[in-house]
Structure 1
Amino acid sequence: MKVILLEDVKALGKKGDLVEVNNGYARNFILPKKLGVEATGKNINDLKLQKAHQDKVAAEQLAAAKALAEDLAEKSVEVKMKVGEGGKTFGAISTKEIAAAAKEQLDMELDKKKISVDEPIKSLGVHNVKIKLHPKVTATLKVKVSEM
């Protein structure tokens, strides 16, 4: 029997896959637990329409992420840091502080978990920070660290 999976089933397939299973396995396990539906003509057409819609939404999200990456490349944020004698800094700039500065100065919501800093920012000056906007798109934001 052919079945369209509604959820991931271990050792069988992922959500949306069309798989061939034994009649008893389908009737006694997959269908009663609503892990899948029988692959009728209507259900197969619905699956095709769902996949087309998901592809369209994914393409729109990718385009939006690319546009945002280009926008972020031109912008920068300024973060102030406490400095002691001889230009020695106290602590480091965190991703939380960078996200807060971006919200305040650029009016952009950036997730602190998506911001990656190669090495801790412990010095004054301009630093480049990578922001993962999409699995295929990474933007660079300039962070100017100045004295308080």
Structure 2
Amino acid sequence: MKVIFLQNIASLGQKGDIKDVSDGYATNFLLPQNKAVLATEHNIAQLKAQQKKQATKIKEKLDTHQKIAATLNKQTINFFGKVSDKDTLFKGIGVKDIIEAVHKNFNLETQEKWFRDSAVIKKLGRHEVFLILPDNKRISFYINIKAEEN
């Protein structure tokens, strides 16, 4: 009997695989426990449509990540803040501030988990920030912190 696996089954197949299994195994185990469905034309068409949709989603995410990499790589974002006598900011620049600035300056959506160094930066000057995208592409850009002029 031909079935489409709805879950990964050890030593048989992965989710989405179409395989021939014995009739008894399918009717007594796989089908009642919703681990597989019969491989009818309708179910196969649904599976192919779902796989195509998933492939499109993955391609869109990769395109977005490439756009982020191309836009942000080696760019500089300026921050201004009130400074103490020791040339440090009263309020440090954190990951959320950087995400907000990236969105404001480049209209790009980034996620907090992509930033590997989540330390708050309080010193004036130019600092390198590293971003690691889900496809393991590493991007570096800079933030330049300056004293706010009165």
Query: How high is the TM-score relative to the length of structure 1?
Result: 0.70
Specify the alignment match of 1:144 in structure 2: 144
Give 1:100 deviation, angstroms: 1.7
Partner of 1:117: 117
> What whole-Å deviation, never above 9, does each CA across 1:46-101 have from its counterpart, x for those lacking one?
54554455334433432332132111125332233553223245574321111122
What is the RMSD computed on CA atoms of the aligned residues?
3.3
Deviates more, 1:62-71 or 1:119-128: 119-128
Alpha-carbon distance between aligned partners in 2 of 1:100 and 1:118, rounded to the nearest angstrom: 14
Cα distance change on mapping 1:10 and 1:96 into 2, 3 Å? farther
Percentage identity across aligned positions? 32
Equivalent pair of 1:126/1:145 in contact (CA under 8 Å): yes
Gaps of 5+ in 1: none
| Secondary structure of residue in 2 paired with 1:116 | coil
**Equivalent residues, number:** 148
TM-score w.r.t. the length of structure 2 is 0.69
CA displacement at 1:19 relative to structure 2? 4.3
Indicate conservation of the 8 Å contact 1:79/1:97, yes or no: no
In the alignment, which residue of structure 1 is the partner of 2:70?
70
Select between 83-92 and 71-80 the one with higher mean Cα deviation: 83-92
In the alignment, is the contact (CA less than 8 A) between 1:79 and 1:98 conserved in 2? no
The residue matched to 1:68 in structure 2 has which SS?
Answer: helix
Shift of 1:144: 1.6
Q: Deviations over 1:89-123 (max 9, x none)?
A: 55743211111222233333222222222765342
Given that 1:95 and 1:116 are in contact with CA atoms closer than 8 Å, whether structure 2 keeps it comes out as no
1-structure distance, mates of 2:34, 2:24: 15
The residue type paired with residue 124 of structure 1 is: L
| Contact 1:79-1:143 within 8 A present in 2 as well | yes
Corresponding residue for residue 84 of structure 1: 84
Alpha-carbon spacing, 1:104–1:60, altered in 2? closer, same or farther (3 Å): closer
Q: Give the distance between the partners of 1:65 and 1:119, measured in 2 at CA.
A: 23
List runs of 5+ in structure 2 lacking aligned partners. none
The structure-2 alpha-carbon separation of the partners of 1:126 and 1:10, relative to structure 1 and needing over 3 Å to count, comes to: farther
Alpha-carbon deviations, 1:16-64, whole Å to 9, x = none? 1234544333223322333322235664565455445533443343233
